[in-house]
Amino acid sequence: MSSASVSPPVFVVPRLPAMVQGAAALAWLPQATLLAWAVQGMVAGNGWRAALLPAAVILVLGVLRALAEAWGARTMYAAARSHLSALRAGAIAALARRSPLDRDRARSGQAASVLAEQAEAVVPYLVRFQPARWKAVLAPLAILAAIAPLSWIAALVLLVAAPLIPVFMALVGMGAQAASRAHMVELGGMNAFLLDRLRGLATLRALDAVDATATRLGDTAQSLRRRTMAVLRIAFLSSAVLELFSALGVAMVAVYIGFSLLGTLDVGAWGAQLTLGQGLFILLLAPAFFEPLRELAAVWHDKAAGEAGLAGLRDLAADGVMLIGDANGAAAAVSATVSTAVGSAVGSAVGTGARAGSGAASQSARTAINGLPARSAPAVEVCALQFAHAGEQALFDGFSLTVRPGEHVALLGASGAGKTTLLVLLAGLLPADGGAIRIGGVDLAEQSAATLRRRMAWMGQRPHVFSASVSDNITLGRPVDASLAVSDALHLAELGAVAQAQPGVMLADGGHGLSGGEAVRLALARVAVWPHADLLLVDEPTAHLDSETAARVTDALLALARGKTLLVATHDPVLAARLHRAIDLSARTTPQRSIA
Ligand SMILES: Nc1ncnc2c1ncn2[C@@H]1O[C@H](COP(=O)(O)OP(=O)(O)OP(=O)(O)O)[C@@H](O)[C@H]1O
């Protein structure tokens, strides 16, 4: 039931800008011709005035060359940026489509490292590599063609030196790409490790494991250092090879021209004697012959890093265990408080940045919600459900359940009985292996899941609190009617009198500043602020709370669930007793108790 994978967009190189940049390199040919001609003229006694016109043309050509290169670079940059944005959007959409229970999805720190940092290496690669390749093909050929009629020896020296450079670059490049990829994987791994350990710092400190973790971090940093040095070594090696061959090539041409002009050597010029102008012309062109190859070598490292960045983005965009239905619908509609990749994707909408751009999206979402016909709370029917986590025994094997519209049901059972998994399956956050789930008479399937999620609200076991204001933490960037709805929701969740939970108060990463009970009530406020949801899926809302706080959370939950269908996974007998019915999943049987 996983959604079809979307193939990543292909970068279409804007040919004209790449070719213009390549052709701009050829401007040096007429410039060198004019320069040599002017010097020859001055030596022949024509005076400095004869050099004025060539100097003016050289200047104009220089300006034209600079303009052409600037235009080409700007156009390539814009194309590369928009391509990277499309790749990033694809990778983020794929991450948002992954089930929160998919154990193989990228770790948060690693995903952040690839998306924010490693992906940036793609732009220099796309911007510089193609034009450099054009230049490396066009310019040396044109220069050879210009030099050969004057001196076949000079042309031969350049011709022999040139191919050695690409051969060595290719040899070095093979190692460079592998080293770059290994470096980026290590970097992503270290980011993931660091983020994870920072999140768990309190636990590490409480169990006196900070030193051990610091040692491990130190080892990881050393390993990253070694990989960085390996990449740098390869980069330096490739430039050294290139500089050596280009210096040798230019030096040999210079020695030949020098001896020819002195008259010591009179071979290699097709039986003629080289003039000063011709010698100077060849000398000016010799370094330009190697320049595009040097530029190509410089971007060779960009290529290795860029391709490694592209591979990282491709890995993120790869398929795994997917949510049922459309990703956008899922991300927009589930009023989730899960502390998972889905939570992070929803959470990325938290904060001022998202609010600034949310106008049009808010409007369309509001229209979609308002467009829904008024209806009563949905019934939930589960028929012959089959499900097993990957590589594990079947958790549900022909399980059936019917919840009436507006009914409040407690899901009980020992730890590991499958309460959370059942809620996850009902929300379509994980595809079932068999059987059917119907919500309000509609089959939960690829086509219907996004619409069905619009009427669901989910409250997970560990609601994630983002580093943002209380208000942003409640609205999560969804199109709710601002402060009135937020303060109503706070009131309903019994947070109205808590000083730390006022709309404008900033909350720290992970919810520091709120007590455990307050964080749970904040999660309830997230559900409350989205009144369109009439099926509430709630996972252990009173776990770890004292009896008084648990009673307040239960009151708030029941107030919120009035007239709505409610399924609560819980170990709390007091909460379960206040609902219409309780189902023990350990027994996997039909309703155990009815108090309606
Ligand atoms: N992402 C996952 N991948 C593989 N197995 C999982 C995954 N999540 C849960 N499980 C396994 O599925 C079984 C049911 O887990 P579930 O979280 O649904 O139980 P639960 O009844 O909600 O437990 P608790 O009361 O402790 O929250 C457990 O054995 C658990 O180890």
Rounded Cα gap, residues 423 and 341, in angstroms: 17
Rounded Cα gap, residues 516 and 540, in angstroms: 13
When mean pLDDT is compared across 42-46, 146-150, 480-484, the lowest value belongs to 480-484
- Torsion angle (degrees, nearest 10) of CA 376, 378, 379, 382: 170
Give the three-state DSSP class for 4: coil
Rounded Cα gap, residues 522 and 163, in angstroms: 67
591 or 80, higher pLDDT:
80
pLDDT at 63: 94
How far away, in angstroms, is 410 Cα from ligand 1 center? 17
**Start-to-end C-alpha separation, the chain:** 36
Q: If DSSP states are collapsed to H, E and C, what string results for 432-445? A: CCEEEEEECCEECC
The answer to whether the CB of 418 is under 6 A from ligand 1 is yes
Question: Could you tell me if 585 and 576 are in contact, meaning their C-beta atoms sit under 8 angstroms apart?
Answer: no
Rounded Cα gap, residues 16 and 592, in angstroms: 73
Residue type, 86: A
The answer to whether the CB of 355 is under 6 A from ligand 1 is no
Given pLDDT bands bounded at 50, 70 and 90, which one contains residue 87?
A: very high
Given pLDDT bands bounded at 50, 70 and 90, which one contains residue 558?
A: very high
pLDDT at 582: 94
Cα angle 333, 524, 536; round to 5 = 55
Q: What Cα–Cα distance (Å) separates residue 192 from each residue in 10, 79, 112, 195, 372? A: 29, 31, 8, 5, 41
pLDDT at 341: 31
Which stretch of DSSP H or E encloses residue 593?
A: strand 593-594
How far away, in angstroms, is 539 Cα from ligand 1 center? 12
Q: State the greatest distance between any 2 C-alpha atoms of the chain, in Å, as a whole number.
A: 115
How far away, in angstroms, is 478 Cα from ligand 1 center? 29
pLDDT at 174: 66
The answer to whether the CB of 225 is under 6 A from ligand 1 is no
Question: pLDDT digit string (tens) for 352-370?
Answer: 333 333 333 334 333 333 3
pLDDT at 118: 85
Percentage of residues in the chain having pLDDT higher than 90: 20
Helices and strands: H and E segment counts in the chain: 20, 10
547 or 332, higher pLDDT:
547
Closest CA to 506 of 533, 470, 475, 456: 470
Which stretch of DSSP H or E encloses residue 26?
A: none
Q: At what angle do helices 28-43 and 276-316 cross, to 10 degrees?
A: 160
How far away, in angstroms, is 563 Cα from ligand 1 center? 30
Does domain 327-378+405-433+448-594 match CATH 3.90.70.10? no
Which residue owns the Cα nearest ligand 1 atom 13? 416
Mean pLDDT score across all residues of the chain: 80
How far away, in angstroms, is 436 Cα from ligand 1 center? 21
When mean pLDDT is compared across 47-56, 265-274, 386-395, 541-550, the lowest value belongs to 265-274
How far away, in angstroms, is 219 Cα from ligand 1 center? 33
Which residue owns the Cα nearest ligand 1 atom 1? 101
CATH code at 15-316? 1.20.1560.10
pLDDT at 439: 94
Which residue owns the Cα nearest ligand 1 atom 31? 416
How far away, in angstroms, is 389 Cα from ligand 1 center? 9
Token digits for 321? 């265990």
Rounded Cα gap, residues 188 and 220, in angstroms: 11
How far away, in angstroms, is 460 Cα from ligand 1 center? 13
Which residue owns the Cα nearest ligand 1 atom 28? 416
Classify each residue of 513-536 as buried b or exposed e, where b means 16 or more C-beta atoms within 10 Å of its C-beta: bbeebbbbbbbbbbbbbbebbbbb
Rounded Cα gap, residues 537 and 456, in angstroms: 7
The answer to whether the CB of 104 is under 6 A from ligand 1 is no
Closest CA to 99 of 322, 265, 326, 291: 322
The answer to whether the CB of 581 is under 6 A from ligand 1 is no
pLDDT at 370: 39
Rounded Cα gap, residues 134 and 69, in angstroms: 13
User: ipTM of the assembly?
Assistant: 0.96
Rounded Cα gap, residues 557 and 563, in angstroms: 12
How far away, in angstroms, is 73 Cα from ligand 1 center? 53
pTM for the model stands at 0.67
Rounded Cα gap, residues 380 and 565, in angstroms: 8
Question: What's the whole-number mean pLDDT along residues 215-226?
Answer: 88
pLDDT at 419: 93
The highest-confidence range among 206-215, 217-226, 347-356, 404-413, by mean pLDDT, is: 404-413
Atom of ligand 1 minimally distant from the CA of 540: 27
Rounded Cα gap, residues 179 and 183, in angstroms: 6
Rounded Cα gap, residues 433 and 426, in angstroms: 13
In DSSP terms, 394 is beta-bridged to 388
Token digits for 513? 């500043």
pLDDT at 291: 85
pLDDT at 591: 44
Q: What Cα–Cα distance (Å) separates residue 138 from each residue in 31, 157, 164, 271? A: 17, 18, 18, 29
Closest CA to 227 of 278, 176, 174: 176
When mean pLDDT is compared across 62-66, 249-253, 528-532, the lowest value belongs to 528-532
Q: Ligand 1, from 420, 426, 570, 571: best to mutate by most atoms within 8 Å of Cβ?
A: 420
For the chain, what are the domain ranges? Answer: 15-316, 327-378+405-433+448-594
Look up tokens 């307040």; give the residue. Answer: 552
Question: What's the whole-number mean pLDDT along residues 272-289?
Answer: 86
Question: Could you tell me if 509 and 195 are in contact, meaning their C-beta atoms sit under 8 angstroms apart?
Answer: no
The highest-confidence range among 251-255, 265-269, 302-306, by mean pLDDT, is: 251-255
Given pLDDT bands bounded at 50, 70 and 90, which one contains residue 132?
A: confident
Given pLDDT bands bounded at 50, 70 and 90, which one contains residue 67?
A: very high
Question: Could you tell me if 554 and 545 are in contact, meaning their C-beta atoms sit under 8 angstroms apart?
Answer: no
Which residue owns the Cα nearest ligand 1 atom 4? 389
Question: What's the whole-number mean pLDDT along residues 535-549?
Answer: 89
Cα angle 98, 102, 106; round to 5 = 75
Q: In terms of C-beta density within 10 A (0-12 exposed, 13-18 middle, 19 or more buried), how is residue 208 classed?
A: exposed
Asked whether the domain spanning 327-378+405-433+448-594 has the same topology as the one spanning 15-316, the reply is: no
pLDDT at 207: 82
Where are any strands of DSSP class E within 344-460? 380-388, 394-403, 408-412, 434-439, 442-443, 456-459
Percentage of residues in the chain having pLDDT higher than 70: 85
Given pLDDT bands bounded at 50, 70 and 90, which one contains residue 224?
A: confident
The answer to whether the CB of 393 is under 6 A from ligand 1 is no
Q: Please, what sign has the CA dihedral across residues 496, 497, 499, 500?
A: negative
Pairing mode of beta strands 442-443, 434-439: antiparallel
How far away, in angstroms, is 212 Cα from ligand 1 center? 30
Rounded Cα gap, residues 38 and 277, in angstroms: 8
When mean pLDDT is compared across 13-22, 437-446, 569-578, the lowest value belongs to 13-22
Question: pLDDT digit string (tens) for 156-186?
Answer: 888 887 777 767 666 666 667 677 778 878 8
Given pLDDT bands bounded at 50, 70 and 90, which one contains residue 578?
A: very high
Which residue owns the Cα nearest ligand 1 atom 17? 420
Q: At what angle do helices 276-316 and 210-262 cross, to 10 degrees?
A: 160
How far away, in angstroms, is 341 Cα from ligand 1 center? 17
388 or 480, higher pLDDT:
388
**Residue 224: phi, psi to the nearest 5?**
-65, -40
Over 80: is that where the pLDDT of 574 sits?
Answer: yes
